[in-house]
Amino acid sequence: MHFIPTRAAGLARLAAFTPAAGRRYAETRNADDGPAEGGRGNVSQLSPWLHAGLLGTREVLEAVLREHGPRASEKFVAEVFWRIYFKGYLEQRPAIWEDYRKGRDGALAALDANAGLRKAYAEAVEGRTGIAAFDVWAKELVATGYLHNHARMWFASIWIFTLKLDWQLGADFFLRHLIDADAASNTLSWRWVAGLHTRGKHYLARAENIARYTAGRPEGPLAAEGLDEDAAPLSEPQEFPRRGLDLPAQATAADLAAPFALLLHDEAAHHAPLALPARPALVIGASRPAVRSPGTVAPLARSFAEQAVAGGIAEAAQDLGCPAVEWRAGEPLAPLLAAAGVERIALPYLPTGWTRDALWPDLAPLSDKGRVVTLLADLDRATWPLAKAGFFGVAKAIDGILEAAAIG
Ligand SMILES: Cc1cc2nc3c(=O)[nH]c(=O)nc-3n(C[C@H](O)[C@H](O)[C@H](O)COP(=O)(O)OP(=O)(O)OC[C@H]3O[C@@H](n4cnc5c(N)ncnc54)[C@H](O)[C@@H]3O)c2cc1C
């Protein structure tokens, strides 16, 4: 799959995949058939476009439910809600993101100080561990910027329980290479595999399971010898208490009556999924993929994010009839607003993660003056408050959420 960072390419992928999103998806989604051209018909590979906000979850769910109805598309719909659930969960426990960053920095410092650890880490990220399946996925991730969900689970499990490397280093490796890299889905999935998300419940990769679900790869089933299939889950001393959500009200035309700038960023690169209630006087694009990691972010991942935002503001300028400008890293925001004579910003919600870390210091003073109108998707507003503990709290509410949102 060649991931093209435009909304048109995302819509084309959605149209191509929708016929397979019903029972076929439910029955075959666990198979990792490899990245060969023409392979992977069993999963959507929509995550890069969803993460970048080139596609919205609403339109993806609408397309799939229209074609298959609620029962046949139940599994696919649930997976899309996992994405929303993880976002809402991290929003209520942002300390997990802080803790991840601290743990990652500590683990990177430990690598610097310990040659043995450095060697084991290099073997893992370069695909030289001798565990054939793991080595294939390490190279595949670097070459393509994508891994199948099951491969991500196996890979993370082998990283943590067999190679006994810090989970934060693995999460960082993913963030540097995944085109769909997402602070919530990635951090919480690594924690889930480790047994930290659902305490004491971890995911152990098994050679037999890997061989079974990789049998469709052109090279045949992947071997995984020497796995620790009995490892205990990780544990941690600290709790991450839940904080209340302070979600913005639905933005109205009245909120955006004065001239405003629309800020498109790495998680909201296109205006179309935003349901804007008024036209902006200016579109600003801010892309910061380099701050995903203190290490080097791979060109594939970085360029997808940068081009998504650059293309997004160009299309917004054309469709909405206003100028567009890029807000580059290190530049102040205020002169861009002053040059266009606007004081207010419409901001697609900035979720916990590196994009927020990078942009919020400049936006906070405007927000304090009441000049930021935050846009939040209706599905997020309805779902996030339910993402308090396990996914079950969301899963049982999906039908009601879809009905209230008039989807399906
Ligand atoms: C260790 C690990 C790290 C991960 N890191 C990321 C990440 O950085 N970014 C990311 O978007 N996903 C991440 N995932 C979740 C999942 O693997 C990907 O979303 C999925 O593989 C994307 O492929 P797809 O679009 O073909 O998914 P499909 O199976 O076609 O699912 C459709 C959509 O539902 C959502 N989705 C599906 N499965 C999950 C899931 N388990 N959790 C959350 N959302 C899901 C995605 O938005 C996806 O595009 C991670 C999973 C694991 C186990």
**Per-residue pLDDT tens digits for 162-215:** 999 999 999 999 999 999 999 999 999 999 999 999 999 999 999 999 999 999
pLDDT confidence band for 68 (50 / 70 / 90): very high
CB 253 within 8 A of CB 279: no
| pLDDT of the residue at 78 | 98
Task: Give me the torsion for CA of 70, 275, 391, 14, rounded to 10°.
Answer: 50
CB of 373 closer than 6 angstroms to any ligand 1 atom: no
Q: What does 241-281 look like in DSSP terms, one character per residue?
A: ------PPPPP-TTTT-S-EEEEEETTB--SGGG--SS--S
* Residue range 260-375 in CATH 3.30.365.10: no
CB of 50 closer than 6 angstroms to any ligand 1 atom: yes
Percent share of the chain, pLDDT over 70: 100
CB of 57 closer than 6 angstroms to any ligand 1 atom: no
| pLDDT of the residue at 259 | 95
Q: What superfamily would CATH give domain 95-213?
A: DNA Cyclobutane Dipyrimidine Photolyase, subunit A, domain 3 (1.10.579.10)
Q: What is the mean pLDDT of residues 302-316?
A: 98
Burial class (CB in 10 A: 0-12, 13-18, 19+), 348: buried
| pLDDT of the residue at 263 | 98
Give the residue, out of 83, 144, 202, with the most ligand 1 atoms within 8 A of its beta carbon, to mutate for a pocket test. 83
Q: What is the mean pLDDT of residues 121-130?
A: 98
CB of 193 closer than 6 angstroms to any ligand 1 atom: yes
Residue 264 DSSP SS3: strand
Evaluate if residue 8 carries a pLDDT over 90. Answer: yes
The pTM score is 0.98
CB of 188 closer than 6 angstroms to any ligand 1 atom: no
Q: Whose CA is nearest to atom 23 of ligand 1?
A: 45
* Residue range 7-92+384-404 in CATH 1.25.40: yes
| pLDDT of the residue at 289 | 97
Atom of ligand 1 nearest to the CA of 170: 1
| pLDDT of the residue at 93 | 98
Q: What is the mean pLDDT of residues 338-342?
A: 95
**CATH topology identical between 7-92+384-404 and 95-213:** no
The alpha carbon dihedral of 148, 150, 151, 157 has a sign of: positive
Give the residue, out of 24, 55, 85, 189, with the most ligand 1 atoms within 8 A of its beta carbon, to mutate for a pocket test. 189
Residue 52 Cα, ligand 1 centroid: separation in angstroms? 13
| pLDDT of the residue at 250 | 92
What does the alpha-carbon distance between residue 240 and residue 233 come to, in Å, rounded to a whole number? 18
Q: What is the mean pLDDT of residues 219-231?
A: 96
Give the residue, out of 44, 46, 79, with the most ligand 1 atoms within 8 A of its beta carbon, to mutate for a pocket test. 79
Q: What is the mean pLDDT of residues 50-59?
A: 98
Residue 3 DSSP SS3: coil
pLDDT confidence band for 37 (50 / 70 / 90): confident
Pairing of β 372-375 and β 282-286 = unpaired
CB of 157 closer than 6 angstroms to any ligand 1 atom: no
Task: Give me the torsion for CA of 243, 367, 313, 358, rounded to 10°.
Answer: -60
What does the alpha-carbon distance between residue 254 and residue 261 come to, in Å, rounded to a whole number? 15
pLDDT confidence band for 40 (50 / 70 / 90): confident
Residue 179 Cα, ligand 1 centroid: separation in angstroms? 11
Domain ranges for the chain, please list them: 7-92+384-404, 95-213, 260-375
CB of 54 closer than 6 angstroms to any ligand 1 atom: no
Evaluate if residue 408 carries a pLDDT over 90. Answer: no
Beta-ladder partners of 374: 347
Evaluate if residue 90 carries a pLDDT over 80. Answer: yes
Burial class (CB in 10 A: 0-12, 13-18, 19+), 368: exposed
CB of 178 closer than 6 angstroms to any ligand 1 atom: yes
Nearest to residue 80, comparing CAs of 32, 46, 54?
Answer: 46
| pLDDT of the residue at 19 | 97
Q: What is the mean pLDDT of residues 230-235?
A: 97
Residue 149 Cα, ligand 1 centroid: separation in angstroms? 6
Residue 295 Cα, ligand 1 centroid: separation in angstroms? 23
Token pair for 48: 């890069």
Evaluate if residue 38 carries a pLDDT over 80. Answer: no
| pLDDT of the residue at 54 | 98
| pLDDT of the residue at 308 | 98
Percent share of the chain, pLDDT over 90: 98
| pLDDT of the residue at 36 | 80
Average of per-residue pLDDT values in the chain: 97
CB of 68 closer than 6 angstroms to any ligand 1 atom: no
CB of 180 closer than 6 angstroms to any ligand 1 atom: yes
Q: How far is CA 48 from the centre of its chain?
A: 8
Nearest to residue 162, comparing CAs of 203, 105, 196, 197?
Answer: 203
